[in-house]
Amino acid sequence: MKRIILIISLLLTFQAFALPIPSAPNLQARSYHLTDFHSGTVLASKDADLKLAPASMTKIMTALIVFRELNHGNLKLNDQVRISEKAWRTPGSRMFVEVNKFVTIDDLIHGMLVQSGNDATVALAEHIAGDESTFAQLMNQVAKDLGMKNSHFTNSSGLPDEQHYTTARDLSILTRALIIESPELYKINAIKEYTFNGITQQNRNKLLWRDSTVDGVKTGHTEDAGYCLVSSAVRDNMRLISVVMGTDSVSARNDTNQTLLNYGYRFYKTHLLYKAHQSLTSARVWKGAQKNLAAGLSKDLYLTIPRNEYKSLDASLELTPQLVAPITKGQIIGTAVIKLNAKVISKTPLTALQSIPEGSFMDILKDEVLLMLE
């Protein structure tokens, strides 16, 4: 049976003049991955699934768990955390907390994200899970739930361990979750310096000074990991996430991220095509209490395409034939197909925007007759 196809012209089909899209830059890093935040489109990538030491970029995962605890009401920013000797003795970058002193969750988050304090990070992990090894189990469960297929964590801070690794792709997934779930708390990543215990330390992400559109996310460095950086920026309502792993200097990680961001913004544009729950078309329903059903998408539909090619987009809405009641709100009843220059670039389920119960005996009988005549 043929599917019902409704063609919707987004704009005129002539193609505006556009610069050709050059291939993504080949940069000196062990791995990198550039994606659009809203659409998830990959704009540039090199060895994105290579398992590497993440160093302090691990703290993005710790932050996600802490933020979830705050969002769920299990923690409050003014809660006091007692600093253990283990947290105090943790090597590497420090917030300079003091053993057996009490520090607020708020201060510890700033110490972890702005000052990259390993001591603050361990203190938060212990406060949430009792000890760091138990917290690492939480980290691995969250990674699994997010679809981070090539990650394994053994500690909260990113200190070297052969069994502690992730990938550029997985860090991109993690960062997107952090921004989606906690947009207000995420803003801490943009703070350029923080003072605690009389000691002022600057954020190690120097792109915050270089590029006003950058608002995060986290640096990392160990001998094994090299110099790493997850960055994110917003220009003209388009957010990109850039992950760079394994460069040989601070300047190299900054330059590589900046190059990737500039490439993405120069040659691509993200468009919101349809809003969630917006009625896009109406479907005929048989044997129902009403005849017409509004159809739309369950989520906003974003597309990232080459700049100046919006006019080359076409959309078709394919509805399942002979929809029979009862219909449940959210039920898949078709597909929205988006083409760019006649090539399919997106297929998204069309869903029922309302429920329609079965009609009366006469409604059912009448429609059965009409269906036999179709």
**Positions marked active-site:** 56, 59, 116
Token representation of residue 4 = 């019902």
Give DSSP secondary structure letters for 182-194: -HHHHGGGG--EE
The terminus-to-terminus CA distance of the chain in angstroms comes to 12
Give me the amino acid identity at 105.
Answer: I
Strand 301-306 relative to strand 343-352: parallel, antiparallel, unpaired? unpaired
- Are the C-beta atoms of residues 288 and 327 closer than 8 Å to each other? yes
3-state DSSP call for residue 23? coil
Region of residue 341 (left: phi > 0; alpha: psi -120 to 50; beta: else): left
Strand 323-324 relative to strand 281-286: parallel, antiparallel, unpaired? parallel
Cβ partners under 8 Å of residue 334, min gap 6: 283, 295, 317, 318, 319, 320, 349, 350
